[in-house]
Amino acid sequence: MSWQRRGRRLGLSVVILVCCLAITPVFALNGGQSVAPEAPGERVRRAVANEVADAHNSSVKHLFRSRKQGPHGSQTKLYVQTTEAMAGMLIAVDDKPVSPQQIEGETARLEHLINDPDDLRKKQKQELEDTERTLRIVKALPDAFVYEYDGEEPSQPGVGKAGDQLVRLKFRPNPHYSPPSRVEQVLTGMEGSLLIDKGALRLAKIEARLFRDVTFGWGILGHLDRGGTFTVWQADVGDGSWELTHLQLSMTGKVMLVKNISFKLDEVLSDFRRVPSDLTFAKGVELLKTEVARMQNTGPDNASASRKPQ
């Protein structure tokens, strides 16, 4: 998963994910000798290494569509990854195209960022901080969980690479893991399963749930409630690069003992198209404006359509 580019969306510190070096090996005969297959946790460790390496690859950038469903309706946006920050424009609300006035407002907001380098740097800084929190979770996976082999299944649209087999692993917290900060603390209360693409050795899907309350700062800073869930899909988007394709998050809790928090999100990402690796924010905004104008000329369905992985 392109975790660096995903930091904007996964920047909620309540992310999960998974891995560790633990499982009873099963032996097979090969040429008359007993050979231990790769331990599940070691496979995850290698997949995580690929995710981290991809996170530091800034040469691959895409234009794509995002449909985000929340408790109060849906929003569809076009996004483009640039050398400075992510640029996005709202194109539909509750699957209905936005008005010309709303498009003008979106354009004005983006042009403000182009003309105000300080605000653009603040946006870039926030995205980098979100990325760092996400990467800390990903890097913790090889030590935070214990794994058990649970079979295989074929890839499907939006999950893995077309034609590849996916290895399914169940996971539970590693009792010997000590989270270095509050960011990784959430992992201690999670269990679930993940899929690893055998051919690409990439994380294809993670499903996790909180099986107990997770507290922060001895409960003074806050807690997340038992029963929260998190699912993330990613796939080869057709050009050899991997991107997030679907994110589901449902969690509740409390901050500083008084403020209730509730996250409920279902986001589908689709229609990935490669853009130049040296695309600046200003040029990215022009590309978005061109795409929106094209959609306005070809009909409303283009503004609201989204392909959701099964």
Q: What percent of the chain has pLDDT over 70?
A: 81
Inter-CA distances, 257 with 215, 222, 224, Å = 11, 6, 11
Rounded average pLDDT over 170-175? 95
Residue 271: is its pLDDT beyond 90?
Answer: yes
Axis crossing angle, helix 117-144 with helix 3-10, rounded to the nearest 10: 100
125-136 residue pLDDT tens? 999 998 888 888
The CA distance from 285 to 63, in Å, is 11
The CA distance from 138 to 6, in Å, is 12
What's the confidence (pLDDT) of residue 28?
29
Lowest pLDDT segment from 232-236, 267-271, 301-305: 301-305
Rounded average pLDDT over 231-245? 94
What's the confidence (pLDDT) of residue 210?
93
What's the confidence (pLDDT) of residue 102?
95
What's the confidence (pLDDT) of residue 263?
82
The CA distance from 108 to 289, in Å, is 11
Average pLDDT, the chain: 84
From first CA to last CA, the distance across the chain in angstroms is 19
Question: Burial, 193: exposed, middle or buried (Cβ in 10 Å; 0-12, 13-18, 19+)?
Answer: middle
184-227 residue pLDDT tens? 888 999 999 999 999 999 999 999 999 988 876 545 567 788 99
What's the confidence (pLDDT) of residue 27?
25
